[in-house]
Chains A and B, each alone.
Chain A
Amino acid sequence: MTTNATKLKALTENIETIIRGKPQEVKYVVTALVARGHILLEDNPGAGKTVLAKTLAQSISEGSVEFQSTNGGVAFKRIQFTPDLLPMDLIGSHIFDESKKDFVFKKGPLFTHVLLADEINRASPKVQSALLECMAENQISSGDATFQLDPFFFTIATQNPIEMEGTYPLPAAQLDRFYMKISFGYVSEEVEFDIYTNYLTIGNGKSTVKQVLTYSDIIHLQQEAENVYVHPEIIKGVVRLVQSTRHHPEIALGCSTRGGITFIKCLKAWALVNQRDYVIEDDLRSLAQPVMHHRLIFRNREASRTALQQLVDAEVNKLAKLGIGSNK
């Protein structure tokens, strides 16, 4: 393992000093970042989504993250999505500059590194589309000008599973652009006790999160993740899994090819986050739900809980039965 990969462990541990009792979810977020993807958190208010995004940015930045850092760190922005939000509120707009006697482009909050798009389903579809286009293309078009976003650009979007009135749920095609969708959930009783006991320490820690990685470290890690080895049997397993979602009687819409490629990218990043330069069968199980579940349309609620798990179990079982040297 490279030194950079070892630093990923330091990153997750650093975030876990603030985000207690959620090691798996923290790893998912870091995996999405390393895979050059974006993540959607579906959770109730107060579960720690903003703190997570901010801590992640702080762990890669030195000092304040409210503005673009000049010392090899990253910038963090948060946008609270509301029904009256307009696309120009995100991407920016042309304003008249008296001194230049011309219209200049005033960059919006999307010009950042780590973006927290809070309650994304509260904004209108055109605002959602503006954001999702930036996520997919990594660029912003305004008028006749096109602005390239930073290669680091990483979005953590959240949506609230309750109070659905007046919201605009993301359609399947747009959900597909998120590499992962996870539910942060509440912490266990023991962890909650620990948080209540040490909330002052945790609160103070939030402002003094130390930098463990730099912007360039992350860029290198993203390149390193691409070189993680995926055994042909694992790729075949992913192919079978994707195909089976398309033929399962309880699944109305199966996983797309883009979904399958995303799965492979996430598997590589997940392996790196777990300090490996190869993917194992356990990774399929760990990532299938967060990467694939939101890409599928199930025929009923029961199927949404069990169908994908059945497919993953069957596939992992097949892989587990293979011996060393299969199709190497």
Chain B
Amino acid sequence: PWLVINGKAETVNTSSKSLTVSFDQLIYFNTPHQMSRSFTRPVDASLCRVLYDKRDTTFAAIQPGDSMIIVSYKDEAKKIPMPRAGVSIENQVNDFPSPIIADEIHIRVKEKNKRKEGAGKKAKPAEEKKMSWQEIIWLAGKVLIGLLIFVLLLPVIYLLYCLLRISISGNTITKANQVYRAALYRFHMVGLEREDETPLEYAQHKVDATLSAGFEEFMRIYLRLKYANGNLRDGDGEEIDRFATNIGSSIRRKIGIPKMILNYLNVLRASRYIQPTPKADYENQLL
């Protein structure tokens, strides 16, 4: 190269791919020079290769303020001024072509980014080193307590999910389905667990016998909607709504609020509700 400039971009014009560079260091025909003052010169980068951190990039990557090395190779078309003996470099710079045609621009890696990356790599091990055993145990304890609270709240969360599904159910049939599932769960959590009974037997012999919740009447409507070949009858919707509203009050009346709350902390009971029915011995033998 006839010229290598170590400078800083002052202005950048991406449309014409030109920029102005201020510099006070350069290598002119293989002779490095440190100048007594800074110069600003226009640079034409329209045919130039731009690199950042040794990788090719585009001219658009150059930002005003970026430090860079600008290289211009010898070329007869460039009208390169030859060095003159006995003339200071400052005076010779004034003879350089304007704009200076650049062949390569090496953008210097920004110091800030370097520092950030470096700081990140070092900070992590420093933090890990700082955690003591007590802190680890405390953290693990907090996680465990959080998990425990979450598990204890699961029955309530499931109840809220059931109630939400009732409230967003669009038509009476869907509502009957959701009310049925919510009712089975709520009565189960009260301690009235359904065993081998059919839901109707369960309603007659366990739920209504204990809570007088009107579950049997609801079940008769539900079974009709489930198995009969007909539409809803007048009053079915009201009966379903009435039962859905009365479940809570009938449980509160017979069981009491404190016991009801305690029941919902019984995770094992809740798990018995959702666990699949175990296969009978004969079914296993068939497998």
Where the two chains meet, the residues of A that have a C-beta atom closer than 8 Å to any C-beta of B are 229, 231, 233-234, 247-250, 276-282, 285, 307, 310-311, 313-314, 316-317, 320, 322-326
Contact = CB atoms under 8 A, between A and B. Distances in A.
A282 B277 contact: no
4 closest A-B pairs by beta carbon, nearest first, are A278-B228, A229-B229, A231-B227, A280-B223
B286 A324 contact: no
Nearest to B276: A321
Contacts of A311: 282
19 contacts: A229-B227, A229-B228, A231-B227, A233-B227, A247-B286, A249-B285, A249-B286, A276-B224, A276-B228, A278-B229, A281-B198, A281-B200, A285-B198, A314-B277, A314-B283, A322-B226, A323-B181, A323-B226, A324-B222
Given A322-B226, A325-B177, 10 more contacts: A229-B228, A250-B282, A278-B228, A278-B230, A279-B227, A280-B223, A307-B282, A320-B199, A324-B174, A324-B176
Give the interface size bracket for B toward A. Answer: 20 to 34
Contacts of A278: 224, 227-230
A248 B281 CA distance: 10
Nearest to B229: A229
B56 interface: no
Where chain B touches its partner, the secondary structure class is helix
Contacts of A310: 280, 282
Interface of B: 173-174, 176-177, 180-181, 196, 198-201, 222-230, 277, 280, 282-283, 285-286
Contact of B177 (A285, A307, A317, A323): A323
A279 B173 CA distance: 19
Given A248-B282, A249-B282, A249-B285, A280 B173 contact: no
A328 to B, nearest CB: 8
Given A278-B228, A324-B222, A317 B201 contact: no
A48 B196 CA distance: 32
B280 A282 contact: no
Contact of B226 (A231, A247, A250, A277): A231
Contacts of B277: 314, 317
A206 to B, nearest CB: 33
A322 B199 CA distance: 11
B198 A324 contact: no
A322 B225 CA distance: 12
Among B176, B225, B226, the most chain A Cβ lie within 10 Å of the Cβ of B226
B199 A324 contact: no
A281 B228 CA distance: 12
Nearest to A249: B285
A287 to B, nearest CB: 13
A122 B223 CA distance: 45
B198 A314 contact: no
A213 to B, nearest CB: 25
Nearest to A286: B198
Contacts of A229: 227-229
B226 A324 contact: yes
B176, B177, B283 interface centre (most CB from chain A within 10 Å): B283
B18 to A, nearest CB: 73
Nearest to A309: B196
Nearest to B224: A278
Interface centre among B177, B180, B227 (most CB of A within 10 A): B227
A12 B223 CA distance: 24
A280 B173 CA distance: 17
A248 B177 CA distance: 33
A310 to B, nearest CB: 5
Contacts of B223: 280-282
B228 A324 contact: no
B34 to A, nearest CB: 87
B280 A324 contact: no
B264 to A, nearest CB: 23
B138 to A, nearest CB: 45
A133 to B, nearest CB: 36
